[in-house]
């Protein structure tokens, strides 16, 4: 007995008791399991709902309000169970109506054993194949849905291509990076999302990969229509079917924009090209921070000895430099920076500091600042960046400011050291000049008059370099020596 017969269960719907009993006996002789017999369509539906069979033998003309065709339609839609119609008349009208229920076959009564056996075997085989196909299709649909759900929630840009490298799917993260819709990305449309300066290089590398049938990896940029640039590390791996042939590529784009911008900041701070060009360090730094962090206002300050006042060494506002000035730290975000070392207000900064005139005048929304630490461990300055927009990535802004702070603090101390050295050299020259005067005019009274006049000139030309103590000796703070 064939294996499929032992496994197959059949339900008979026939309103003539003699015919249903005959069919039941013959089916059992052929090795099938008869799950039940019903006289009406309504009874059949109730019993099939409780215990679904593998196949239904359905008489088209039944007693009761529902005929066999209507019952078969419900069985097919509800449970997907295959149906073979039994009919004493092969009328065209009935057959056309029955087609809509997708029956597997028709048997004319009286049914002969040979026809019954062959029809059942073919019907069960077709039903099995169809069932397997549906399972495979459902499994594929489930797999595709899982893949879609996983990729749509992923921050990594995911894409699929066919065996020729043509795009067939992109997830939401990829679309955000490229600024393209799913339809625009299909085929070779994805190329439009690549930054114009990288496009030729990326396309050439991709084509080489497809021709060589290997893996792929490259760093490049996307640029959207509104100018947003995203650096990515693109990777792709070959997808191979069960027969060993390539069926496509699965790719992933990881956003490396922050890493690239940090590398750029490190390179900028290390190269110091502006010094060779005669450009002021702090002005170059302020402009760079404004451009790289997309900020509207940048100031680099020197902290005064009192710790309550700051004097700017560079101010860059809305694309231009402004004059330096001194200001009190009280009631400003910069005061908070001095207290906390680094401080960030991603939103609502002007409402948090209503007395800060700069914030109010420029309609500021966000702020970040960091202290410049001297080599002695004391604060010597600060950097502040302000924007009219909320900060989208505060962590990145803080990391760049921390890098810039180290270089700026070193430059601030270097400039201070150079200033002290220059002042010391001037004082030394002046002291020598005064000593020469004393040798030329040994008269003490005349020497005192000349000395006072010289110091007056020193004050007007060089600033105050010292003072007379109670004994009448001139004390130079920078030299920490007395001039007599």
Residue 37: CATH number of its domain: 3.40.50.2300
Q: How many domains does the chain have?
A: 4
Condensed to tens digits (0 to 9), the pLDDT of residues 310-322 reads 999 999 999 999 9
| Domain annotation covers residue 147 | no
Higher pLDDT, 210 or 441: 210
Whether residue 390 is predicted with pLDDT greater than 90 in this model: the reply is yes
Q: What is the mean pLDDT of residues 219-225?
A: 95
Whether residue 394 is predicted with pLDDT greater than 80 in this model: the reply is yes
Does residue 40 share a domain with residue 71?
yes
| pLDDT score, position 339 | 66
The full length of the chain comes to 484
Q: pLDDT band at 280, cuts 50/70/90?
A: confident
> What CATH number is given to the structural domain containing 365?
3.30.450.40
Does residue 95 share a domain with residue 159?
no
Q: Which of 110, 128, 126 is nearest to 118 (CA)?
A: 126
How far apart, in whole angstroms, are the C-alpha atoms of residue 463 and residue 426?
A: 11
Based on its alpha-carbon atoms, the radius of gyration of the chain, rounded to whole angstroms, reads 44
Does residue 12 share a domain with residue 110?
yes
| pLDDT score, position 272 | 59
Does residue 423 share a domain with residue 409?
no
| Domain annotation covers residue 236 | yes
Give the domain-ending residue among 207, 237, 255.
Answer: 255
Condensed to tens digits (0 to 9), the pLDDT of residues 10-48 reads 999 998 888 989 999 999 988 898 999 999 999 999 999
| Domain annotation covers residue 281 | yes
Tell me which range, 83-92, 285-294, 333-342, is most confidently predicted by mean pLDDT: 285-294
Give the domain-ending residue among 75, 105, 136.
Answer: 136
Percent of the chain with pLDDT over 90: 34
Share the mean pLDDT of the chain.
81
| Domain annotation covers residue 143 | no
Does residue 393 share a domain with residue 268?
yes
Does residue 332 share a domain with residue 451?
no
Whether residue 2 is predicted with pLDDT greater than 70 in this model: the reply is no
| pLDDT score, position 214 | 75
| Domain annotation covers residue 383 | yes
Q: What is the mean pLDDT of residues 168-172?
A: 92
Q: Is the peptide bond before 327 cis (omega within 30 degrees of 0)?
A: no
Range of the domain at 274: 261-415
Does residue 410 share a domain with residue 273?
yes
* The model's pTM: 0.52
Does residue 178 share a domain with residue 48?
no
Whether residue 57 is predicted with pLDDT greater than 80 in this model: the reply is yes
Measured torsion, CA atoms of residues 350, 354, 357, 360, in degrees rounded to the nearest 10: 40
Give the domain-ending residue among 398, 415, 432.
Answer: 415
| Domain annotation covers residue 103 | yes
| pLDDT score, position 441 | 58
Higher pLDDT, 399 or 2: 399
Does residue 9 share a domain with residue 39?
yes
Whether residue 144 is predicted with pLDDT greater than 60 in this model: the reply is yes
Higher pLDDT, 289 or 61: 289
Whether residue 278 is predicted with pLDDT greater than 80 in this model: the reply is no
Does residue 398 share a domain with residue 269?
yes
């Amino acid at each position: 007995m064939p294996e499929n017969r032992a496994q197959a269960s059949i339900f008979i719907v026939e309103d003539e008791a003699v015919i249903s009993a005959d069919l039941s006996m013959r089916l059992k002789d052929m090795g099938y399991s008869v799950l039940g017999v019903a006289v009406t369509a309504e009874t059949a539906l109730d019993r099939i709902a409780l215990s679904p069979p593998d196949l239904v033998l359905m008489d088209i003309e039944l007693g009761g309000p529902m005929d066999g065709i209507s019952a078969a339609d419900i069985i097919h839609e509800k449970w997907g169970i295959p149906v073979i119609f039994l009919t004493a008349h092969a009328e065209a009208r009935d057959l056309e109506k029955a087609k809509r229920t997708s029956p597997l076959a028709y048997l004319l009564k009286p049914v002969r054993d040979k026809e019954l056996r062959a029809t059942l075997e073919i019907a069960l085989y077709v039903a099995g194949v169809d069932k397997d196909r549906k399972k495979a299709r459902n499994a594929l649909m489930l797999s595709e849905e899982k893949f879609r759900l996983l990729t749509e929630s992923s921050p990594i840009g995911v894409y699929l291509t066919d065996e020729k490298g043509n795009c067939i799917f992109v997830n939401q993260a990829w679309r955000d990076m490229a600024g393209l819709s799913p339809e625009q990305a299909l085929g070779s449309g994805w190329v439009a999302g690549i930054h114009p300066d990288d496009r030729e290089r990326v396309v050439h590398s991709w084509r080489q990969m497809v021709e060589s049938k290997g893996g792929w990896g490259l760093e490049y940029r996307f640029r959207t229509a509104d100018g947003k640039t995203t650096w990515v590390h693109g990777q792709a791996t070959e997808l191979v079917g069960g027969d060993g042939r390539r069926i496509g590529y699965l790719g992933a784009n990881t956003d490396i924009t922050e890493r690239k911008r940090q590398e750029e900041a490190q390179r900028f701070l290390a190269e110091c090209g502006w010094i060779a060009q005669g450009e002021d360090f702090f002005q170059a730094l302020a402009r760079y921070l404004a451009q790289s962090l997309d900020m509207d206002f940048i100031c680099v300050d020197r902290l005064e000895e009192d710790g309550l006042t700051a004097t700017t060494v560079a101010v860059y506002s809305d694309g231009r430099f402004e004059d330096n000035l001194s200001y009190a730290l009280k009631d400003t975000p910069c005061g908070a920076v001095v207290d906390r070392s680094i401080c960030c207000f991603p939103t609502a900064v002007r409402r948090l500091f209503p007395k800060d005139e700069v914030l109010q005048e420029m309609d500021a929304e966000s702020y970040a600042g960091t202290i410049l630490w001297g080599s002695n461990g004391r604060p010597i300055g600060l950097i502040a960046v302000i924007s009219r927009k909320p900060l989208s990535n505060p962590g990145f802004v803080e990391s760049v400011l921390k890098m810039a702070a180290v270089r700026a603090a070193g430059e601030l101390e270097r400039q201070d050291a150079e200033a002290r050295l220059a002042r010391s050299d001037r004082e030394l020259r002046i002291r020598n000049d005064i000593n020469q005067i004393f040798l030329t005019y040994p008269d003490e009274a005349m020497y005192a008059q000349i000395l006072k006049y010289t110091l007056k000139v020193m004050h007007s030309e060089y600033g105050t370099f010292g003072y007379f103590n109670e004994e009448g000796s001139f004390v130079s703070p920078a030299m920490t020596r007395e001039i007599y």
